[in-house]
Homo-oligomer: A and B are copies of this chain.
Amino acid sequence: MTAAAQTATYREALREALADAMRADGDVIVMGEEVGLYGGAYGVTKDLIGEFGAARVLDTPISEAGIVGVAVGAAMTGLRPVAEIMYVDFAGLVMDQLGNQAAKIRYMFGGQTGVPMVLRTQGGTGRSAAAQHSQSLESWFAHVPGLRVVMPATVNDAYHLLRQALTKPDPVVFIEHKALYVSKGTLDKDKPDAPWGAPVLRRAGGDAVIVAYSRMVHEALAAAETLAERGVEAAVWDLRCLNPMDLDPILESVRACGRAAVVTESCLTGGFAAELSAQISEHCFDRLEEPVIRIAGEDVPIPVAPDLEAASIPTPGLIADAMAWLVSREAPAWA
């Protein structure tokens, strides 16, 4: 921790990152619905319009595909746009501009130009916002060659990953978590937690490895606390970046203990947890004592009823139960 360290919320860290990037680089602009006068649906862009003016903080109409498409063109011609899509659930409106255009332009044009833009959005459950405002859709983006995908879990990462994203030559999908905006932590502007692409060990433990990202890092950490009381020491890795992704340190750690779980809020089938599970099995095959398990969201649309919503994604209790079973062969009550 350096002298510059301070306590901040995830929301404040994101705002700071945008403001600092805009101060440092006159080509950075922010655009999206309600990013200006309103200050962002979740307050991330609060007052930016005051400091940087309406020419660099553009309130847009409710035209998601257009927003991303305009950002693509702007990025090809000298600006570095941060386009905000209010909810990741609206991805279905922009996947063409994101997946067919932003992601592929460098390749299709033989390297003539890049599309240095950041698409900021947020996802996840926690507000009883129902099926169209609560999803975790990172798996779609992570399956598109050409898109970088990052999902910060901590305050410091919120700041640094966004600053780093704003120096990258390729499009970055930056996914925040709505339940983390009010979370507090240490922001040290001089000290990123790790380089771009690298995972971070958030808790050491020799009995099993848990790999998570975004909000699930915290649920995994909570589970690890419970597990410690039950005599099981779980390591918790925060993936941070889905692309680029450096799995090697995690693989090392899995090889050492032979047991691993992947935890995502995203629903199980066809989700990024499968990619992580497959890679771990591929690379740690002869060191695994048990199959890699996936603890993920249920394969259902997110229900609005608060109890059902909460039960539709992994909880610390479920994670702890599953890990204890994996490590100690104690079947939980629900088994």
Cα–Cα distance between A274 and B294 once the two chains are bound (Å): 12
Q: Quick check: is A108 within 8 A (CB to CB) of the other chain?
A: yes
Residue of B nearest to A138 (CB): B270
Choice from B108, B143, B298, B301 contacting A301 with Cβ under 8 Å: B108
Whether A301 lies near B104 (C-beta < 8 A) is yes
- Produce 1/0 per residue, A79-121, CB < 8 A to B: 0000000000111111111111001100110000000000000
Whether B139 lies near A300 (C-beta < 8 A) is no
Segment 268-320 of A: residues with Cβ below 8 Å from B: 269-275, 277-278, 281-283, 285, 288, 290-294, 298-301, 303
Segment 252-279 of A: residues with Cβ below 8 Å from B: 266-267, 269-275, 277-278
Choice from B100, B143, B285 contacting A132 with Cβ under 8 Å: B100
Residue of B nearest to A98 (CB): B92
CB-defined contacts of A131 to chain B, threshold 8 Å: 100, 104, 107-108
- Produce 1/0 per residue, A137-163, CB < 8 A to B: 001101101100000000000000000
Choice from B89, B96, B145, B270 contacting A139 with Cβ under 8 Å: B270
Instruction: For residue A311, give the distance in angstroms from its CB to the closest CB of chain B.
Output: 15
Q: Quick check: is A243 within 8 A (CB to CB) of the other chain?
A: yes
Instruction: For residue A314, give the distance in angstroms from its CB to the closest CB of chain B.
Output: 16
CB-defined contacts of A65 to chain B, threshold 8 Å: 93
Cα–Cα distance between A67 and B97 once the two chains are bound (Å): 19
Cα–Cα distance between A93 and B98 once the two chains are bound (Å): 11
Residue of B nearest to A298 (CB): B145
Choice from B140, B267, B291, B299 contacting A285 with Cβ under 8 Å: B291
Whether A301 lies near B95 (C-beta < 8 A) is no
Whether B269 lies near A143 (C-beta < 8 A) is yes
Whether A132 lies near B104 (C-beta < 8 A) is yes
Whether B269 lies near A294 (C-beta < 8 A) is no
- The CB with the most chain B CB atoms within 10 A, among A100, A290, A298, A303, is that of A100
Whether B139 lies near A303 (C-beta < 8 A) is no
Whether B267 lies near A143 (C-beta < 8 A) is yes
Whether A96 lies near B107 (C-beta < 8 A) is no
Whether A281 lies near B271 (C-beta < 8 A) is no
Binding site for B on A (CB under 8 A): 65, 89-100, 103-104, 107-108, 130-132, 139-140, 142-143, 145-146, 243, 266-267, 269-275, 277-278, 281-283, 285, 288, 290-294, 298-301, 303
